[in-house]
Amino acid sequence: MTEARWLGASAPEDLAAGLTQRGYRVVGPRVEDGELLLGDIAPGEALPRGWSDRASPGRYRLESTSEGTTGAAERFGFRVGAHSWKRFLHPSEALLFRARRDRTDGLKLQPPPPPKTPLALLGVRPCDLAAIGVQDRVLSGGPHVDAGYVARRRGAFLVAVECTRPGATCFCASMGTGPGVESGYDVVLTELVDDTRHGFLARAGSDRGAELLAGLGGREATADEQAERAAAVEAAARNMGRKLEVHAARRALAEGAELRLWEDVAERCLACANCTLVCPTCFCTTVEDTTDLEGRVAERRRSWDSCFGLEFSYLHGGSVRQSVAARYRQWLTHKLSSWFDQFGEAGCVGCGRCIAWCPVGIDITEEAAVAITQQHEAAEVRPHRGPARRGRKR
Partner 1 sequence: MDSPSESHGTLAAGPMRPRPFVVVRRWDETADTFSVELRPALGDGSEPSGAPAFRPGQFNMLYAFGAGEVPISISGDPADGERLIHTVRTVGAVTRLLSELRPGDAVGVRGPYGTGWPVDAAAGHDLIIIAGGIGLPPLRPVLYQVLAQRDRFGRVALLYGARSPEEMVFIDELRRWRSRLDLDVAITVDRATESWRGSVGFVTTLIARAPVDAADAVAMVCGPELMMRFAALGLVKKGVPEQQIYASLERNMKCGIGLCGHCQLGPSFVCRDGPVYPFTDVKGLLQVAER
Partner 2 sequence: MRDMVALLSASPVFAGLDHDQLEFIAGCGWNVHFKAGDTVFKFGEPADRFFVLRAGTISIEIRYPGGPARRLETLGDGEVLGWSWLFPPYTWQFDARALTDVRATAFDGTCLRDKCDDDPPLGYELMKRFAGIVAARLQATRLQLLDLYGQPL
Interface with partner 2 (CB under 8 A), residue from 44, 317, 344, 386:
317
Question: Which residue, 109 or 320, is less far from partner 2 as judged by CB?
Answer: 320
Please enumerate in sequence order all residues whose Cβ is within 8 A of that of 316, keeping only pairs 6 or more positions apart, or say none.
Answer: none
Confirm or reject binding of residue 118 to partner 1 (CB under 8 A): no
**Residue 303 per-residue DSSP state:** E
**How far is residue 102's CA from residue 82's CA, in Å, rounded to a whole number?**
45
Residue 169 beta carbon to partner 1: minimum distance, rounded to whole angstroms: 25
| Partner whose footprint covers residue 269, from partner 2, partner 1, none (CB < 5 to 8 Å by kind) | none
Of the ranges 35-43, 57-65, 224-232, 337-345, which one interacts with partner 1 (CB under 8 A)?
337-345
Please enumerate in sequence order all residues whose Cβ is within 8 A of that of 44, keeping only pairs 6 or more positions apart, or say none.
Answer: 17
Interaction pattern, residues 146-165, with partner 1; x per rule: CB under 8 A? xxx-xx--x-----------
Provide the CA 391 distance to its chain's centre, in angstroms. 41
Question: Which residue, 5 or 90, is less far from partner 1 as judged by CB?
Answer: 90
Question: Which residue, 82 or 95, is less far from partner 1 as judged by CB?
Answer: 95
| Partner whose footprint covers residue 387, from partner 1, partner 2, none (CB < 5 to 8 Å by kind) | none
**Residue 58 per-residue DSSP state:** T
Interface with partner 1 (CB under 8 A), residue from 109, 231, 270, 360:
109
Question: Which residue, 103 or 316, is less far from partner 2 as judged by CB?
Answer: 316
Size of the site for partner 1 (CB under 8 A): 64
Of the ranges 298-306, 314-322, 336-344, 365-373, which one interacts with partner 2 (CB under 8 A)?
314-322
Confirm or reject binding of residue 394 to partner 1 (CB under 8 A): no
> Which residues 215-274 are close enough to bind partner 1 by CB under 8 A?
257-258
Query: Cα–Cα distances in Å, from 240 out to 123, 179, 243, 246?
Result: 20, 9, 7, 15
Question: Which residue, 45 or 299, is less far from partner 1 as judged by CB?
Answer: 299
Where would I find the beta strands (DSSP E) of the chain? 4-8, 25-32, 35-40, 51-56, 59-64, 93-102, 106-110, 119-124, 157-161, 187-193, 198-204, 219-220, 285-291, 297-304, 314-315, 318-319
Closest CA to 236 of 4, 390, 76, 347: 76
Confirm or reject binding of residue 311 to partner 2 (CB under 8 A): no
Confirm or reject binding of residue 300 to partner 1 (CB under 8 A): yes
| Partner whose footprint covers residue 300, from partner 1, partner 2, none (CB < 5 to 8 Å by kind) | partner 1
Backbone phi and psi for residue 14, each to the nearest 5 degrees, phi listed first: -65, -40
**How far is residue 134's CA from residue 281's CA, in Å, rounded to a whole number?**
7
Closest CA to 125 of 78, 169, 157, 168: 78
Confirm or reject binding of residue 316 to partner 2 (CB under 8 A): yes
Confirm or reject binding of residue 326 to partner 1 (CB under 8 A): yes
**How far is residue 69's CA from residue 210's CA, in Å, rounded to a whole number?**
33
Query: Cα–Cα distances in Å, from 233 out to 9, 11, 172, 220, 229?
Result: 19, 19, 12, 20, 6
Provide the CA 200 distance to its chain's centre, in angstroms. 23
The contact set with partner 1 (CB under 8 A) reads: 96-97, 99, 101, 105-109, 111-114, 138-140, 142-148, 150-151, 154, 257-258, 283-291, 295, 298, 300, 302, 305, 307, 312-317, 320-323, 325-326, 330, 333-334, 337-342
The contact set with partner 2 (CB under 8 A) reads: 315-318, 320
